[in-house]
Structure 1
Amino acid sequence: MKPPNAVADHRLPVRPDRPSFGRITFFASGDFACNLYWQSLSFYLLFFYTDALRLSPAVAGFVLLAGAVWDGIAALMVGIHAERSGRDYRWFVTAGALPVGIGFVLLYVAPPLEGAALIGTVLAMHLLFRTLYAFVNIPYSAMTARITGDSGQRTLISGLRMLFGTAAALAVALGTERIAALHPGGMGSTQGYFAAALLFGAVGALLLLMVGRSAPPARGQAGTPVSLLVAMRVLARNRAFVTLNLAMAGVGMAATALTRSVLYYFSYVVGDSTGGPAALAMMGFAGAVFVPIWMAIGARTGTRALWFLSAAVGIAAVAAFAGFGGNDGPTAQMFLVVMQAALVGFNLVFWAMLPDTVEYGEHRAGVRVEALAFGVSALVQKLALGFASALMGMVYQLVGYQPDLPQTPEAVTGIQWIMLGMPALCLGLSALVMRANPLRRGTHAAIVADLAARPGSREG
């Protein structure tokens, strides 16, 4: 018997299987590889484009916007294919491990070209990497919904993934600067970035290959695929999924504005070009420290409540920093550490709740939409990141930003607004959207129990 308003019976068995801690820890280490790539894009790629390749801020912002839009489209296509192909998600991770590593290295190649030829080549390499990254990252992320149905263990997996991700952020922040320092021109040249990319690309490819081959198996096999139209309709009507992704889009824009402003802020507002990489490293370290703290708080409050607490921390940090007018390095670093703590809370909630929205949609419609949900989620998030990057480029262009030169008061104000005003606005909007999310504490456990009790659940 189908639940009310069901359109099909398309479910994996709903069982709270619990893989061993060792297996899920090694599975979570795949985020170290993914974040070697992603954090390099977040921290350094815009700066590499403007200050090493000498692209104008507007052009660099357009390349990042185009890459983000394409990344979202590629993620959607990968999600559709993974959902309907019947392949084990581990196959995608294994098959894409080496290509995505090579694609990452190509991001930091400085072609001996100028003008439109240079822009076209940079854009092509950017789109290639984004395609390969989506091919690996979407199935990898979707595996969380398959390897366990226990919400608590999913939160543990998300926390472990974030610990590995923050470790990668720390490695990127410190490693890129130190490798660049070994080459003439340092952070203003192209050789150091390329050398760092070679190292990170090799490490990431090897680790993803190992994770793809040894990840915990799925809890069962998917049922008969439903049409794309039906699956998209299920997602559109999934209030938990829609509100979670819209709220995270706001957080993604805030994080993009913050992290991609760090190098500019320290170089041209604080006047300390070496302070930026150090601040990024401190943010990575802070992330590792705050993940277990947020996990402990979330275990008491529930993940949804943790979102509001993170928003309060982030907005209060912006207000305090702006109120004190902190243009010195130590104050800016402290501000960034607190902001990173808030961002860690958001990310923990998002990755813990996203698999739970799969069961919420299944419970409401009788259709389980899994990899496609992660693909659509990636599309929404990448569009938000791309829009934030393009906005940064436009603001920098409008205020007259010029690399390696003293900035005008207008340019300094633009850099400050991007790093402070935009994150505060976006975090406030995300909290408002999250109020409409129905996955309160205990809701998911009740859903899983009800699904398991329904005829045809194939439990066991």
Structure 2
Amino acid sequence: MNHNTAPPRPARWRLVLFGSGDFACNLYWQSVTLYLLFFYTDVLGLAPGVAGLIYMIGAIWDGLADLAVGIVAQRGRYRYRTLIAGGTIPLGVAFVLLYGAPAIVDEPVAAALVAHIAFRSLYALVNVPYAAWSTRITQDSGDRTFIAGARMLFGAAAATIVALGTPWIAARIGDGVSPGGYLVAAAVFAAVATPVLLMVAASTPEVLPVAAVERVSVAACLRVLGSNRAFVTLNAAMAAGGIAAALLNQSVLYYFAHVVGDPGAGPGTLAMMGLVGVVVVPLWTWWATRRGARSAWFVAGLVGLACAAGFAMSAAGEGTTRLFLLGMQIAFAGFSLAGWAMLPDTVEYGEATQGLRVEAIAFGVSALVQKGALAMAAAVIGGVYDAIGYAGGTVQGPAAVAGIGWLMIVGPAVAIAVSMVAMVANPLRRETHDAIVAGLGRG
């Protein structure tokens, strides 16, 4: 279907304001990514396999919730701002309970699982419409790359705050490994994230009207997505990149504690990784704008593989470990920028090749794929740590130390290589999207 009016391009300040929503989302997401598994094993004392299973179930549920929200958003023809505004305050409450509920009940495993599912459900309700909104603000590929860069900058800033703020608050509320400290940190992050998301919901325009999205069956939408080569290959690459990042990021605290022998260096390194993201995102944005986001993916992959190879051949000291992690963060920032810049463009690619615009469901399916990848990563970490005999809060044996080290190197390297293979098949070269938009009569 064609819509022959070209919507106006929004001002850059509006794009930046929209990108600030990722600051709020990443206060939640980075906490879950960087600290929740560690909280389960080393604060609550859950077995690694149990902790990994809870995390995996939560991630799978999250993916299903993402798909359900995408269906509701598209089939129900809701304004994205309505879904975000309605879910923001419950999301903040659920995030606090994520750390609070398991610590105050007699059945911490059951409480952790229920709280995890509740949080993931509400996160999907807010995050899927927020991500899909980038298709309605603008259809200019350059603007979308700019949005991706702004979102990445805000996300990296949030990652830095979470990485430094969580242990800082935990150390002042308790001894650094008490549940109360993590609970207070969660409450602080929720208090900051909530008004930011409400501001984004209230102030962001939806240039493309809801009426421009056809109301068709879910099955038809899924068939279109399954035939959308750009969408399928991009999501395969993003899933592999997500697995690589999860295996690395969730290994950092364990690696510094048991391989390097300096547990206090872990949070500081995570913060440095966040700061690196702030520095390199403008460079990746510049590259993607001029050479294409697909090109940026390959460059990022080569950076990651070079870092993994170099670190595998070096001594596991604190300095070399930090250099390795910072280099990998540069690569992951490139993946994230390229992925989020390209994902909105796959909507028009599918519309041009299949004759149907699939918007919110596309982002829901994409989120389902990514959360499935994170679930796989959590299962791998929990299974490997169980197999090597890891026990939280104790000195690890030689087999466990070696296993922690090799998982953090080999796992991400293999996943990065897979992501690059998937991206080879992606058809969204530079200038492709501009031609598609012109062909749809919106150029």
Aligned residue among 392, 399, 405 for 2:388: 399
Cross-structure match for 1:252: 242
Cα separation, partners in 2 of 1:203 and 1:304, compared to 1, 3 Å: same
Is the 1:14–1:451 contact (alpha carbons within 8 Å) kept by the matching residues of 2? no
Cross-structure match for 2:333: 344
Q: After TM superposition, list the pairs within 5 Å mapping 1:26-175 onto structure 2.
A: 26-109=17-100, 110-114=102-106, 117-175=107-165
* SS of residue paired to 2:173: coil
Is the 2:3–2:440 contact (alpha carbons within 8 Å) kept by the matching residues of 1? no
- Cα deviation 1:313-347 (Å, max 9, x = unaligned): 0010000011113x211211111111000000000
Cross-structure match for 1:206: 195
Q: After TM superposition, list the pairs within 5 Å mapping 1:409-428 onto structure 2.
A: 409-428=398-417
Cross-structure match for 2:268: 278
Between the aligned partners of 2:97 and 2:213, the Cα distance in structure 1 is 39
Between the aligned partners of 1:428 and 1:447, the Cα distance in structure 2 is 30
Deviation, 1:121, is 1.1
Q: TM-score, normalized by length of structure 1? A: 0.94
Quick one: which amino acid aligns to residue 360 of structure 1? Y
Aligned residue among 263, 268, 278 for 2:253: 263
Q: Which range is displaced more, 330-339 or 236-245?
A: 330-339
Is the 1:93–1:136 contact (alpha carbons within 8 Å) kept by the matching residues of 2? yes
* SS of residue paired to 1:149: coil
Is the 1:245–1:380 contact (alpha carbons within 8 Å) kept by the matching residues of 2? yes
Runs of 5+ unmatched residues, structure 2: none
Is the 2:47–2:392 contact (alpha carbons within 8 Å) kept by the matching residues of 1? no
Cross-structure match for 1:4: none
Between the aligned partners of 1:432 and 1:266, the Cα distance in structure 2 is 32
* SS of residue paired to 1:369: coil
Between the aligned partners of 1:39 and 1:152, the Cα distance in structure 2 is 27
* SS of residue paired to 1:77: helix
Deviation, 1:213, is 0.6
Cross-structure match for 2:186: 197
Cα separation, partners in 2 of 1:438 and 1:14, compared to 1, 3 Å: farther
- Cα deviation 1:141-198 (Å, max 9, x = unaligned): 0000011000000000000000000000001001111101102321x21111111000
Between the aligned partners of 2:94 and 2:291, the Cα distance in structure 1 is 41
Q: TM-score, normalized by length of structure 2? A: 0.98
Quick one: which amino acid aligns to residue 222 of structure 2? M
Number of corresponding residues? 441
Is the 2:349–2:436 contact (alpha carbons within 8 Å) kept by the matching residues of 1? yes
Runs of 5+ unmatched residues, structure 1: 1-8, 453-458
